[in-house]
Amino acid sequence: MEENRQTSAAAHEPRSLMRLGVFRRLWIGDAVSRLGYQVALFLFPLLAVVELHSSGAQAGLVSASQFVPVVVLSLVAGVFADRAPTRTLIVVCTVVRGAALALLGVGYALFGLNLWMLLAIAFVVGSATVFYDIGYQSAVPKLLKPAELAEGNGILQASTSATQMAGPALAGVFVQLAGLPFAVTVTCALFAGAGISFWSLRIAEDAVPPPSRPGGRALLAGLKFTWTCRPIRDLCVQSGLFNLHEQAFLTAFMIYGVRQADLSTGAVGLIIGVASIGALAGSVGVGRLASRLHAGKTLTTGLLIASGSLLLGPLLSGLLPPVVAYGLAFLSNGLALGAYNVYVMSLRQTIPPREFLGSVTASYRLVALGPNPLGALIGGALADALGAGDALLVIAVSLAVSSLPLLASPVKGVRRVEEAGADLRAYVPAPAAQQPQPVQEREG
């Protein structure tokens, strides 16, 4: 009996995640892999402009080719992630991205660079990234306890924000000072290092045989769960609305900064980059305080602040220099959004049953990221119709209003991430006459 009590106590004893070898390897591998991806993400359109002297439309086409796979392949990747060994999936995707970059370097050396080569390599890297992201996000709840997810995702989100800041800068420096061969070589080395770190992972679920359900039926079952589970649906729709507005705001702001506020392109990029600094701080802070924060209230408050903070730019730009007004807006936006993303990811990993984890992640990403191209079109159209300054105000007001429905979601009542699975799964319509039970606040 005494031995059983000691075993139970050990199972619930909090662990230092950075001293946990399996998490440390996942974190290092993901950070290095994301740095390589962020370099490549900026490198492709940069090469189109610098090496090929492409038009703006052609450079935009190169950028878009990296995001098209999100719409085309996300659902397929979700089914595949539910069936394939997780470690194998993320290792293969990492190697494929590095190999594609290596192929770009070889092609450049033998035949010179051309637009079609750049488009093809960018599409391959984007496709592998879709599978990687879903596999990696499915790996986190397999390696950590439910109570550790918020802290772990805070650490992982912080490194993501850091790479988003460093990647574009490194890509520009590599191409300017050392040329394409060096840039490609370093990026390949980053993916190779990430692959080595991932290869040493040991994930118990890798030994579980794949489900016998056919791929089409598995996909439909995962989509049905995503849509019928109200908490997941609420978060999914809310993220899609947020990203739609944010992309519209970013597009209108770039037009406003250059044409109306007379800012340099470097200043515009610096102001937008401030959001990543805020996201880094928000992710780290929430991760460290996760055990003391109310998950649902932190999530909803983070969304409301992230949405409303963009109003600071249009409202204060008449009183303060645009650099200061919009710098404050983007900094506040990033800080709150970092907190929101930590809990959204943690709940998305906790609520679904394990067999739906990949499908839910895939369908969530499709709805959340799919509106980005539409948002860019809306932002540009509003800037042409209203003027960029007025367009920013309209978009910011619409974003603030669109965040209010989450206040009525059962997600708001979740006190701890580890309690969310059983409580919020009750909101899935049961086949029998079972009535869902509302989330109850728990003390402690």
User: Mind listing the pLDDT tens digit for each residue in 249-295?
Assistant: 887 887 787 778 887 656 776 777 777 777 777 777 776 776 777 87
Question: How far apart, in whole angstroms, are the C-alpha atoms of residue 70 and residue 73?
Answer: 6
Residue 38 contacts by C-beta under 8 Å, 6 or more apart in sequence? Answer: 163, 164, 166, 167, 168, 171
58: buried, middle or exposed (CB in 10 Å: 19+, 13-18, 0-12)?
middle
Q: What integer is the mean pLDDT of 18-38?
A: 85
Which of 339, 330, 332, 328 has the alpha carbon at shortest distance from 285? 339
User: 400 pLDDT band (50/70/90 cuts)?
Assistant: very high
Q: What is the pLDDT of residue 3?
A: 44
Structure confidence at residue 100 (pLDDT)? 92
What tokens does 281 get? 């701080």
Confidence band (pLDDT; 50, 70, 90) for 299?
A: confident
Is the confidence at residue 206, as pLDDT, over 80? no
Question: How far is residue 280's CA from residue 103's CA, in Å, rounded to a whole number?
Answer: 33
Q: How far is CA 303 from CA 49, 129, 136, 400, in A?
A: 36, 26, 24, 9
Instruction: Return the exposure string of 410-442: e unless at least 16 CB atoms fall within 10 Å of the residue's CB, then b.
Output: bbbbbbbbbbbbebbbbbbeeeeeeeeeebeee
Over residues 63-73, mean pLDDT: 77
For residue 46, is pLDDT > 80?
Answer: no
**For range 166-193, the mean pLDDT:** 78
Q: Is the pLDDT of residue 209 over 70?
A: no
Give percent of the chain with pLDDT exceeding 70.
80
What is the pLDDT, as a whole number, of residue 393?
A: 93
Rounded to an integer, the average pLDDT of 159-166 is 76
Mean pLDDT over 420-444 rounds to 49
User: Residues 279-303, buried b or exposed e (16+ Cβ, 10 A)?
Assistant: bbbbbbbbbeebeebebbebbbbbb
The pLDDT-based confidence of 428 (bands split at 50, 70, 90) is: low
Per-residue pLDDT for 173 more than 50? yes
Q: What does the pLDDT read at residue 7?
A: 41
Confirm if 8 and 139 have CB atoms less than 8 A apart: no
The confidence score (pLDDT) of residue 266 equals 60
pLDDT of residue 97: 93
Token pair belonging to 271: 């102001």
The DSSP code for 418 is G
The pLDDT-based confidence of 437 (bands split at 50, 70, 90) is very low
Structure confidence by residue, pLDDT tens digits, 347-399: 877 777 777 777 777 778 778 877 777 777 788 788 888 888 898 999 999 99
Spatial CA neighbour of 409 closest among 238, 176, 190: 238
Query: What is the 3-class SS of the chain, one letter each residue?
Result: CHHHHHHHHHHHCCCCHHHCHHHHHHHHHHHHHHHHHHHHHHHHHHHHHHCCCCCHHHHHHHHHHHHHHHHHHHHHHHHHHHHCCHHHHHHHHHHHHHHHHHHHHHHHHHHCCCHHHHHHHHHHHHHHHHHHHHHHHHHHHHHCCHHHHHHHHHHHHHHHHHHHHHHHHHHHHHHHHHCHHHHHHHHHHHHHHHHHHHHCCCCHHHHCCCCCCCHHHHHHHHHHHHHHCHHHHHHHHHHHHHHHHHHHHHHHHHHHHHHHCCCCHHHHHHHHHHHHHHHHHHHHHHHHHHHHCCHHHHHHHHHHHHHHHCCHHHHHCCCCCHHHHHHHHHHHHHHHHHHHHHHHHHHHHHCCCHHHHHHHHHHHHHHHHCCHHHHHHHHHHHHHHHCHHHHHHHHHHHHHHHCHHHHHCHHHHCCCHHHHHHHHHCCCCCCCCCCCCCCCCCCC
Q: Render pLDDT for 407-422 as a digit per residue (tens, 0 to 9).
A: 888 887 777 776 666 6
Q: pLDDT tier at 443 (50, 70, 90 boundaries)?
A: very low
Q: pLDDT tens, 69-109?
A: 877 887 788 777 777 788 888 999 999 999 998 998 888 88
Looking at every residue in the chain, the average pLDDT score rounds to 77
pLDDT of residue 351: 78
DSSP-derived secondary structure letter, 177: I
3-state secondary structure of 437: coil
Answer yes or no: are the C-beta atoms of 291 and 346 closer than 8 Å. Answer: no
Cβ neighbors of 363 (< 8 A, separation 6 or more) are 74, 75, 78, 222, 223, 226, 236
Q: In the prediction, which pLDDT does 423 show?
A: 59
